[in-house]
Structure 1
Amino acid sequence: MDGPIEKVSRVPAEIRNAWAARHGEAAAERLAAAEDFADAIKEATIPPNTTDTYAKGWKVWQRFCAEQGLPETEGSRGALVAYVAWMLHEGRTTPGPNGTRGYAATSAHSHLTAAIVGLRERGHPASKDDHSEARARLEAIATQLAKGGERRGRGKAPAADLEGLHRVAAACNDSLTGRRDQALILTGFHFASRASEVSGLLLADVTTHARGIKVAVVTGKTRRSVRTVAIPYNNDEPEICPSRAWERWLDAYGRTDPTAPAFPRIDRWGHIGGAMHPDSVTAAVTRVAQRSGIPIRWTGHSLRSGLATEGRKNGKDPVNIAKQGGWAPGSKAMLGYMQLADEWDDNAAAGLRRSPRGNS
């Protein structure tokens, strides 16, 4: 922060006045400028997908305020509670898959967070008590709806599995797109990728080694997602070996510029474009899975949940699974994926049989 900073933006006047009373006008201006600088650093380091989510959520808040005749900059207790009730009952502009006009509880939580963040960024923070009560009411209303038979949202992404990977690998031909899709899915599965992480990879981020490849993941949500992941050659099942799939794709791709996207867009005529958007990554995973005859609909997140479930089935250490996928140790999300394996393989209702006669 070199030199004087003259512009003061979002620091509320009452805070600046308090600083001025304690330290003088010049110091107050400098403190306010430092706050703005901190905000700018924060905004510059927020992942783009998070920024997009907040922007979309703020628009939902704006629509609610416009419909209800409420000011956008007042996140009072009543306004926030009314907001969550509105979202769960009538907030959608078009009916969802089940015909309801209300958001799923997970979407409502995201939009509520976006509203709270947006209010704070605009200098009108909601109190902790007020938004805590709004979250509590959201949970209570969502529970009532569920008890009444309402089922909303898509649920968890189905986990990719090894059998499905074999089908996918066989369904990808030797065309440019086929080799890209095969490498994308096999590599993405083996580092538990998010769609945004795949789309953000550059050629420089994937390096070949004697025992496989290493992927430098730098587009995740948390500091644990900024990681380098080793993916060994799979000599037992070479058909689904991500390292071999990457080498085949690299040979077909033909690019050597380290700043080129690892997985670019490819049009129907085979022309190579820029990096794939995360939605395009998800579409590619879904398209190839459907073409390969997988009976459940894979999404981009299926690759992420798939490594956790298959790692669990194969007895891998949860600590190592967490490192590979960039989860925090003991992550609830990771443990939730593992439960998808346990609910069938370690099930209290599985294999029940009568005891021999005479035994209690």
Structure 2
Amino acid sequence: MTVTAETAASGDVAAPEVPDSPAAERQALIERWAERHGVDAARRLADTEDLADAVEKEITPDNTVDTYNKSWRVWERFCAAARLPGPEATRGSLVAFVTWMLREGQQNGKGYAPSSASTHLAAAVVGLRERGVTVSGDDQAAARAALQGLAVKLPQAGERRGRGQASGADIDGLRAVARACPDTLTGDRDKALTLTGFHYASRSQDPAGLLTGDVTLHPRGLVVAVLTGRTKHSVRNAKIRYADDPAICPVRAWTAYRTRLADEHGPRWADPSTPAFVGIDRWGHVTGGMVPDSVTRAIKRISKRAGVPIAWTGHSLRIGLASVARRKGRDAIAIADQGGWARHSRSMLGYMQRDDGWDDNASAGLA
């Protein structure tokens, strides 16, 4: 702490430069504690606040922190371009921010996709509030309404931005992938990566974060301990059963891959602390554990090799589990628990709706 309980209680503290800053709010709180409970108790309470701040920082996912930092830099670029003060947010400045992002906000002078602009707006508001700036809900709502309205105008003007939603993996695609995987260690890894990832609705960071000990055999299949999830829902033990069709069985694929890895590169790869999925170069050398980017590239390459009509991305396996399970009549809560979504997650329901919209369709069978 820069302000001690003693100095706060005595009043011998200079007035802060920004009256509404978090530091000033904390100082005022310490002063009240000192008046009510005494200096020693105020110090202990202040220490618990510091601990709470440290815990909050520790449990915030790295990718969330990265997003906040990136969005704050976007906000700073906007303020510099518009010659507006950074530590200030008004209805007008927030509306101007989203307008600027859609028109020219990227560093190459092009506009952001609406989804990216929405993310930057939300994260910039967080950054402003962290810096003691008051951002009213009404002002933020005005900016979001402007963003939504302007986003509607883009396609009307012939502009298509963003990559769109990834295509979802399906059973036919999995069969094609399994057939196309060569009889090599890389082929076995690709098959295991795809088949297991589909069955627990993996994001790219999930298999990249798995250790060998996180995947355990069970008489009925595999238990995958996903520990790298971004939320309390995505950290889970996902159960994967043996498939009726051995050709696309994720359990058999995992076992074959791990057996071959140990046979060809030594029993040390059976150690629980080693990466579950390894990088393999063109000569068959193991290069270490896979990272999220290499998983994304691998899924795209694997799907192209299999001739999947629309190439998969790192998110296709996750979309696929939700949509295929829904099509097969699985309960939405069971799907959420398996894939690490919050129950009644909007994103999960959106994946399901893409398939429901074909069967439960007002125009189906009319002609």
TM-score tier after normalising by the smaller chain length: 0.7 to 0.9
Q: Which residue of 2 aligns with 1:204?
A: 213
Structure 1 residue corresponding to 2:27, chosen from 16, 34, 53 = 16
| Matching residue's letter, 2:132 | G
Structure 1 residue corresponding to 2:343, chosen from 306, 312, 329 = 329
How far did residue 12 of structure 1 move? 2.5
Identify the range of structure 1 (183-192 vs 134-143) with the bigger mean alpha-carbon deviation: 134-143
| Matching residue's letter, 1:272 | V
Alignment of 1:269-280 (within 5 A): 269-280=283-294
Go from structure 1 to structure 2 and tell me whether the alpha carbon gap of 1:34 and 1:128 turns closer, same or farther (over 3 Å shift). Answer: farther
Contact 1:168-1:182 at 8 Å conserved across structures? yes
| Matching residue's letter, 1:264 | V
Alignment of 1:70-81 (within 5 A): 70-81=84-95
User: What is the rounded CA distance, in whole Å, between the counterparts of 1:269 and 1:74 in structure 2?
Assistant: 56
TM-score, normalisation: structure 1? 0.88
User: What is the rounded CA distance, in whole Å, between the counterparts of 1:132 and 1:81 in structure 2?
Assistant: 10
User: What is the rounded CA distance, in whole Å, between the counterparts of 1:22 and 1:43 in structure 2?
Assistant: 24
Identify the range of structure 1 (11-20 vs 203-212) with the bigger mean alpha-carbon deviation: 11-20
User: What is the rounded CA distance, in whole Å, between the counterparts of 1:22 and 1:307 in structure 2?
Assistant: 52
Go from structure 1 to structure 2 and tell me whether the alpha carbon gap of 1:273 and 1:75 turns closer, same or farther (over 3 Å shift). Answer: farther
User: What is the rounded CA distance, in whole Å, between the counterparts of 1:193 and 1:39 in structure 2?
Assistant: 31
How far did residue 206 of structure 1 move? 0.5
Q: Which residue of 1 aligns with 2:248?
A: 240
| Matching residue's letter, 2:246 | P
RMSD across aligned positions (CA): 2.4
How far did residue 260 of structure 1 move? 1.3
SS at match of 2:310: coil
SS at match of 2:115: helix
User: What is the rounded CA distance, in whole Å, between the counterparts of 1:134 and 1:84 in structure 2?
Assistant: 7
Q: Cα deviations across residues 136-185 of structure 1 (Å, max 9, x unaligned)?
A: 22112212323333322112111111111111111111222221111111
Go from structure 1 to structure 2 and tell me whether the alpha carbon gap of 1:33 and 1:123 turns closer, same or farther (over 3 Å shift). Answer: farther
How far did residue 234 of structure 1 move? 0.6
How far did residue 40 of structure 1 move? 2.0
Structure 2 residue corresponding to 1:228, chosen from 232, 237, 242 = 237
Identify the range of structure 1 (205-214 vs 110-119) with the bigger mean alpha-carbon deviation: 110-119
User: What is the rounded CA distance, in whole Å, between the counterparts of 1:28 and 1:143 in structure 2?
Assistant: 53
Go from structure 1 to structure 2 and tell me whether the alpha carbon gap of 1:14 and 1:42 turns closer, same or farther (over 3 Å shift). Answer: closer
SS at match of 2:22: coil
How far did residue 258 of structure 1 move? 1.2
Q: How many residues align?
A: 343
User: What is the rounded CA distance, in whole Å, between the counterparts of 1:106 and 1:116 in structure 2?
Assistant: 16
Contact 2:90-2:139 at 8 Å conserved across structures? yes
Q: Cα deviations across residues 197-227 of structure 1 (Å, max 9, x unaligned)?
A: 1211111110011111111111112211111
Contact 2:5-2:42 at 8 Å conserved across structures? no
1:186 partnered with 2:200: no
Query: Unmatched 5+ residue regions in structure 1?
Result: 96-100, 354-360
Alignment of 1:1-360 (within 5 A): 11-17=22-28, 19-21=30-32, 23-24=34-35, 26=39, 31-94=45-108, 101-235=110-244, 237-254=245-262, 255-353=269-367
| Matching residue's letter, 1:265 | G
Go from structure 1 to structure 2 and tell me whether the alpha carbon gap of 1:275 and 1:66 turns closer, same or farther (over 3 Å shift). Answer: farther
User: What is the rounded CA distance, in whole Å, between the counterparts of 2:28 and 2:200 in structure 1?
Assistant: 51
User: What is the rounded CA distance, in whole Å, between the counterparts of 2:58 and 2:335 in structure 1?
Assistant: 30
How far did residue 51 of structure 1 move? 2.1
| Matching residue's letter, 1:93 | Q
Go from structure 1 to structure 2 and tell me whether the alpha carbon gap of 1:352 and 1:241 turns closer, same or farther (over 3 Å shift). Answer: same
Contact 2:22-2:130 at 8 Å conserved across structures? no
Go from structure 1 to structure 2 and tell me whether the alpha carbon gap of 1:32 and 1:87 turns closer, same or farther (over 3 Å shift). Answer: farther
User: What is the rounded CA distance, in whole Å, between the counterparts of 2:120 and 2:259 in structure 1?
Assistant: 44
| Matching residue's letter, 2:341 | W
Q: Which residue of 2 aligns with 1:357?
A: none
Q: What is the percent sequence identity of the aligned residues?
A: 54
User: What is the rounded CA distance, in whole Å, between the counterparts of 2:344 and 2:28 in structure 1?
Assistant: 45
Contact 2:167-2:316 at 8 Å conserved across structures? yes
